Each structure stands twice: as C-alpha cells, then as structure tokens.
Amino acid sequence: MDNSVVGRAVFWLARSTAIGGGVALSVVVVIVVVSVIGRALIPLGLGPIQGDFEMVQAGVLFAVFAFMPWCHLERGHAIVAIVTDRFSPRFGALAEFIWDLLMLVAAALVAWRLWAGLFDKYGNGESTFILRVPLWITYSGGLVGALVFVVAAAYCVVRSGQNAASRAPTKPISGMGE
Amino acid sequence: MSNVELALWSFPVMLGLIFLRMPIGLAMLVVGVVGNFLITKSWNPSLALFKSLPYSTFSSYSLSVVPLFLLMGQFASLGGLSKQLFDAAASWLGHRRGGVAMAAIGACAGFGAICGSSLATAATMGQIALPELRKHGYSGALATGTLAAGGTLGILIPPSVILIIFAILTELNIAKLFVAAIVPGLLAAIGYIIAIAIAVRVRPGSAGAPYPRVPYLERFRRLASIWPVLLIFFLVIGGIYFGWFTPTEAAAIGAAGTAVIAFLRRGLSRASFIDAMLQTAKATAMIFLIILGAAALNNFLALSQLPQAAVNLVIEQGLDPWAVLIVMLVFYLVLGCFMDSLSMILLTVPIFYPIVTALDFGLPPAEFGLWFGILVLIVVEVGLITPPVGMNLFVINSMSKGTSMGQTFVGVTPFLISDIVRTIILVAFPAISLFLVQWLY
C-alpha cells in the first residue's frame, strides 16, 4: 500500500467495503440459523423466516460485489507467474499493467451493464417472489461494490503503470487468496 | 473457420494469456466475450448477457454456499481447535517413529472435516504443528512436506468447496458427493501416514524424537475434547444428507457453530473478526471472478457447439473409455503443476463431463458422476503440492524459516507418490468411492 493520500483513501474505501460485505455475510448466517431453528420448532408454533432464501441471495450478492475491490487491490486473483518470473522484473510489471488495464475495462463493463439491468428492473417494476422487494433495490446492493471495484481497478492501473514505467520496476508479487 | 474450430483455438489462446500472468478469471471472461463476438459478429449479445450474468451468478442460491463455507473455515481457524486436534492426534500416533508428523496429518484430517479449503487448513495447522516438528528435531523437508500434503485433506475430506463447484457444474447431488468423498478422504490420510512411516525408515535422519507413549485413558480423554469438531461435522454433513437443511443452510450453521466456539474460547476479538472478514473477502472474490469468467466462457462454448462436437467425435472414434479417462486424469496432473484447482475444474468439466458420461464404464450414470467427481477432486488437489507452483508448498515454506523451497519439494515427494498410488486404486476400484453412498441410500 502506498502512503499517498489517494492510495490511503482507495485502500480505506476498498477495505471498508469488504468489511461491510463480511458483515452482510454474517447477517446472512444469523438469518439462516434463526430460520432453520424456527422451522425445526414449527410444532411449538414458531416458523421459518418468510423469504429467507431471498435474503440470502440479496446478502450474498451485496457481499460478493463488495469483496471484489479488496481482492483486486491486494492482488488476490489467481494467476500463473511462472513464465513471467523468468524474465526481467520490467516484463512482469508491464504484464501486470496491461492486465490491470483490462481488469478496469471489465470492471467498468460489469458496473455499466449492472446499471442498465437495474434501470430495466426499475422500468418494469419486477420484484422478488415472496418479499415483493423491487429488484432494482437488490441490483443497487450489487452496484455499491461494482462502483468501488471500478475505483480500485483505476487505482491499480496507475499503481502498476507507475511501477512499469519506473527506472527500477519491482516484480509484482501475487498475494493469491485461498 | 467454423465455430467449433474457433472454440478449439480459443483454448491455446487463453492458456497463452494465462501464462502471461493474466488473472485466470479475467482471461476466461475476455475470451468468452471476444469469442461470442466472433461468432455473432456483434457485441450486443454480450452486452445483453452482462445485464443479468453477474447479478444471477453472484446471487445464485446454490453458489452462496461457497462464501459461507469459507467463512466457516476462517472462524474455525480462530477457535483454537487446531491445537486440540493436534494434541489428540499426538496422543494416539506421537510415540511412533515419525509420530509427530503423523499426528500433524491426523490433525489436518480432523480440521479438514470442518474446513472446506486447502490453504486455510495448511496455514492453520502449520502454525501449530511446524514448531512442534522442528522442536522435536524433524528435518525442514519432512516437516514442510507433511503440512503441505496434510493441507490438501482440507479439500479431500468433506465439506469441500471444490466438490460443491463440481456438483453445481454437473448438477449432481452435493450430499451424495460429500458422502462419496469420505472414504477416499480417510484413505488419503492413511496413505500419508504410511508415506511418513516409509520416509522415516528410508531416511532415518529426517525424523526427530517421538512423544512419550500416552496411556489409553488419557488418549480417550483427549479424543473426547475435540467433540465440537465432530458435532459440527455431523451437523453439517448429516444435516445435508438427511435433508434437514440445504447445503447453504448447512454452511451457515457451520459458520455460526465455529464462530460460537471461537467466541467461547476468546479467539474472536474485533481485530481477528475483521481479519477473518478480509480473508473471506479475498478468497470469495477470487473464486467468484473465476466463476463469472467461466460463465462467460461457457456461454461462448455452448454457442460454438464444441462440447457436442467433442462428444460426437469421441463416440465416433470408438475410443477406449479407460484410455480417455486416464488421459484426462494425467492432463489434470500436468495442468495442476501450473494452475489452481478451481480454475482447472471450471475450465475443463464443461467439456470433459459430457464426454465421459457418453462413455460406458459399466456403472449406472448417477454413480459414474460421483466416482468421476472424486477422481477429479483428487487429481486437481495433487496440483496444490506439485512443484513448481503448488500453492500449499509456498504457504508452508514461507512459515518455516531456514527451509529452502528445494527442501520442501524433496519433502513432499513421498506424499506425491502416495497420491498417485491412491488415484490408481480408486480408478481400479470404483466401489471404494461408491459403497458408502450405495449403503446409505
């Protein structure tokens, strides 16, 4: 992580978004557990939470989108570095720059099309089956992470671009996730 | 160029991009979108597809099990269960020659029962077992090799993220796949223990001092202390199997259970909770980018009709089913030296699975799918411990100061041999994977 104001701001934003996604995932866990216990206690007059499936879907959707920027910023995506590591650090740095650029295009495509999808759902008034939540609201949940992803991807382009253009570029180190 | 040829050519192009360090999920996505354009001569189908594809993929109820199992593994790491698992295993195995390493394998197997991820298992058990191994004078090679191999038990013993993805791709029953994986997973643990027993006899210098023998009363007492692990395992696997809840619900209950244990054992602080969230975020996003890329790629492949063409070709040629199967398994082993297991599964199963299901192995179709799933699971997991880029090797090696990567490569060799032997046994005797499913259903 670099110490410039922009660098710190982007990291803070991506980290907060990821933690927000994690909290949403934890809320999903609680909803499911309560719902399963309720279902098991139907004889005692309790019952499952209405629309728990839909809550799981909406929560996980929000979480997965919210996780994207942090993973990219931390260089967490699965890559194969064995070939590029045999060449000079500049070669690896240049490759990272190009793919970061392409990742920005992909992030922008996803955000743009998600927005278009949201607009469609807003227009036709579609809603979820049981809870009757308008779909444009669940789309908006995804859009939060998708937009932060675009910001993070743009930052990564600058980061790897500066590295590739510098006098002595460092070899990009992957911090692959699981 | 016909569409099928186009799709065939897309594979070397994609592999080329991946070997140029392009993120694997992104490479699949780009090839899928560009391939779609080359077939339809328009960007509009892709633009329309992306209105709904990321949304439907990320909000898929069946895929929601993936982040929940990853969360469960993170909480399990915080609960201090790894130490107790190790102590319990050490009381049973520790007094043997190579016993500390055997105990590490036993503990990994136990942790694998509540963790669906290989790297999390390797990293968590490594923190506990590596210092013990070094303290007892084990060589760095054997110590790191043991834990890298033991980590794969996280995936081989259900629950397993890889198996879930396989089940979704092939529309097989997750509960049956989990049940089918239990015996081969236990065989893997036993095979690794045998590998250690042989390795320390071939190179007596690699093993250090054993633990003192523990009386049986104490052994059972320590075994009883790991009851939370067993409870969560049976709740998760049994719950899915008996139909008490869906796999997603089971994963959520497992995550809640491990979180409660972590909380009760004071492993859950604000800082460790945030760290668990960020680790889950990284792992989940990595997996879902690959899943999204694979969805875009498969859209293109389906459009090109390559999968059907491949099936027809294999049937027309009248190839020997066993030869086809063996070529596929070897292909996974080779590709696994360079690529992660999930990418391999998502890349190959949509093509391979229709082909093998069209061939006759003398098994009913439903059972064949389970058997094939277990075989694929095992060979892709071998990729985690094969040089040059086995990820478990790097994780464990970075945790062991003073051990070179070369020593780790040497240390993992007995376990690789054990993996190969087990694969051959499971190919030759499908019943080992299937009898538990047949018996229970």
Q: What is the pLDDT of residue B25?
A: 94
Q: What is the pLDDT of residue A175?
A: 58
Q: Which of residues 76-95 of A touch B (CB under 8 A)?
A: 76-84, 92, 95
Contact B151, B108 (CB under 8 A): yes
Cβ–Cβ contacts within 10 Å for residue A101, how many? Answer: 16
The verdict on A1 touching B (C-beta cutoff 8 Å) is: no
| pLDDT more than 90, % of chain A | 67
Q: Which residue of B has its CA nearest to A173?
A: B21
Is the Cβ pair B30, A102 closer than 8 Å?
Answer: yes
* pLDDT tens per residue, range B216-233: 999 999 998 889 899 999
Q: Provide the shortest C-alpha distance from residue B53 to chain A (in Å).
A: 9
Contact B184, B426 (CB under 8 A): yes
Q: Is the predicted pLDDT of residue B129 greater than 60, yes or no?
A: yes
Q: Provide the shortest C-alpha distance from residue A101 to chain B (in Å).
A: 11
Tell me the one-letter amino acid at B45: P
* pLDDT tens per residue, range B4-43: 999 989 999 999 999 999 999 999 999 999 999 999 999 9
Q: What is the pLDDT of residue B281?
A: 96
Q: Is the predicted pLDDT of residue A88 greater than 50, yes or no?
A: yes
Is the Cβ pair A77, B24 closer than 8 Å?
Answer: yes
Q: What is the pLDDT of residue A151?
A: 97
- For chain B, the residue count is 441
* Main-chain phi, psi angles of A134, to 5 degrees: -55, 135
CA atoms within 13 A on the CB side of B406: 0
Is the Cβ pair B285, A120 closer than 8 Å?
Answer: no
- What's the rounded Cα separation, in Å, for the pair A166 and B6? 39
* pLDDT tens per residue, range B36-92: 999 999 999 999 999 999 999 999 999 999 999 999 989 988 888 888 899 999 999
Backbone conformation region of residue B402, classed left if phi is above 0, alpha if psi is from -120 to 50, else beta: left
The residues, any chain, with a CB within 8 Å of residue A7's CB and separated by 6 or more, are A1, A155, A159
State the DSSP code for B344: H
- What's the rounded Cα separation, in Å, for the pair B145 and B416? 10
Q: Is the predicted pLDDT of residue B205 greater than 90, yes or no?
A: no
Is the Cβ pair A67, B280 closer than 8 Å?
Answer: yes
Q: What is the pLDDT of residue B378?
A: 94
The verdict on A103 touching B (C-beta cutoff 8 Å) is: yes
Is the Cβ pair B58, A33 closer than 8 Å?
Answer: no
Which of the four pLDDT bands, split at 50, 70 and 90, describes residue A99?
Answer: very high
Is the Cβ pair A61, B19 closer than 8 Å?
Answer: no
Which of the four pLDDT bands, split at 50, 70 and 90, describes residue A160?
Answer: very high
Q: Is the predicted pLDDT of residue A1 greater than 60, yes or no?
A: no
- What's the rounded Cα separation, in Å, for the pair A36 and B268? 24
Q: Which residues of B253-280 are buried (b: 16+ CB within 10 A; e: fewer)?
A: bbbbbbbbbbeeeebbeeebbeebbbbb
Give the least confident one: B64-68, B303-307, B399-403: B399-403
Give the least confident one: B45-54, B310-319, B372-381: B310-319
Q: What is the pLDDT of residue A178?
A: 38
| Residue-by-residue DSSP string for A84-147 | GGGS-HHHHHHHHHHHHHHHHHHHHHHHHHHHHHHHHHHHHT-B-TTT--BHHHHHHHHHHHHH
Is the Cβ pair B119, A76 closer than 8 Å?
Answer: no
Q: Which residues of B touch A13 (CB under 8 A)?
A: none
3-state secondary structure of B213: coil
Instruction: Provide the angle, in degrees to the nearest 10, between the axes of the packed helices B161-170 and B174-202.
Output: 140
For residues B96-125, give the mean pLDDT.
Answer: 91
Q: Which residue of A has its CA nearest to B281?
A: A67
| Residue-by-residue DSSP string for A9-60 | HHHHHHHHHHHHHHHHHHHHHHHHHHHHHHHHTGGGT--PPTTHHHHHHHHH
Please state the pTM of the whole predicted model.
0.91
For residues B112-120, give the mean pLDDT.
Answer: 86
- Residue B106, CA distances (Å) to B90, B102, B182, B254, B396 in order: 8, 6, 15, 21, 17
Contact B167, B122 (CB under 8 A): no
For residues B289-310, give the mean pLDDT.
Answer: 92
Radius of gyration of chain A (CA): 20
**What is the average pLDDT value for chain B, to the nearest integer?**
91
The verdict on A67 touching B (C-beta cutoff 8 Å) is: yes
* pLDDT tens per residue, range A50-86: 999 999 999 999 999 999 999 999 999 988 888 888 8
For residues B134-143, give the mean pLDDT.
Answer: 92
Which of the four pLDDT bands, split at 50, 70 and 90, describes residue A42?
Answer: confident
Give the closest residue to B30 by CA, choosing from B292, B392, B226, B265. Answer: B292
Contact B160, B382 (CB under 8 A): no
Q: What is the pLDDT of residue A177?
A: 43
Q: Which residues of A touch B60 (CB under 8 A)?
A: 57
Q: Is the predicted pLDDT of residue B185 greater than 50, yes or no?
A: yes
